Amino acid sequence: MNKPFQKAWSELLSPFLRRPKRLQVAALCYKQAKGSDTKEVLLVTSRESGRWIIPKGWPIDGKNAPEAALQEAWEEAGVRKGTVTGKALGLYNYDKELKGGLPVAVETLVFPVKVREMRDDYPEALERSRKWVSPEDAATMVREPQLQEMLRDL
């Protein structure tokens, strides 16, 4: 590649074509396993592909990030009451395919949610399955490497 073209690409075209990452918030819902000191985490299926994920979504006007994550836990998994801290456990990146078919880079902040109450009747109950599993099993069920690491560290 000649130097003027390389400079034009690196300084003008490449930054122009690169889209910034969009932000989502996620709830890593957990509880103590019955009769044990170990934790279990709650996974749900995505609506489109049916793969296992944690509840997540776009920020919500009028709510801070932890509150929005708790709202997603209710809508997608039926977590009616839970305790969420203001500090994220971490983040993971993935490409989300939007309705038009274009992928968009997403950075997802993950907030721990200690589940206190679940409901079977929740907004997306007919669209998703949910399952309590060990953090290690959850790490093998989700696709995102950064999320797998967070689950294993739990």
Alpha carbons 25 and 68: distance in angstroms, whole number: 7
Alpha carbons 69 and 67: distance in angstroms, whole number: 5
Half-sphere exposure of 97 (CA within 13 A, CB side): 6
111 Cβ partners below 8 Å, 6+ apart?
Answer: 25, 26, 27, 28, 65, 66, 69, 70, 84, 85, 87, 88, 89
The string over 61-84, giving b where at least 16 C-beta atoms fall within 10 Å of a residue's C-beta and e elsewhere, is eeeebbbbbbbbbbbbbbbeebeb
> Tens of pLDDT along 73-83?
999 999 999 99
149 Cβ partners below 8 Å, 6+ apart?
Answer: 90, 139
Kindly give the confidence (pLDDT) of every residue in the chain, 154 residues in length, as a single tens digit, with 9 standing for 90 and above.
Answer: 567 766 665 555 555 455 678 999 999 999 987 788 889 999 999 998 899 999 999 999 999 999 999 999 999 999 999 999 889 999 999 988 877 777 889 999 999 999 999 999 999 999 999 999 999 999 999 999 999 999 999 8
The residue ranges of every structural domain in the chain are 26-153
Tell the CATH topology of 26-153: Nucleoside Triphosphate Pyrophosphohydrolase (3.90.79)
Where does residue 103 rank: exposed (0-12), middle (13-18), buried (19+ CB within 10 A)? exposed
- Of 63, 71, 73, the closest CA to residue 29 belongs to 73
pTM for this structure? 0.84
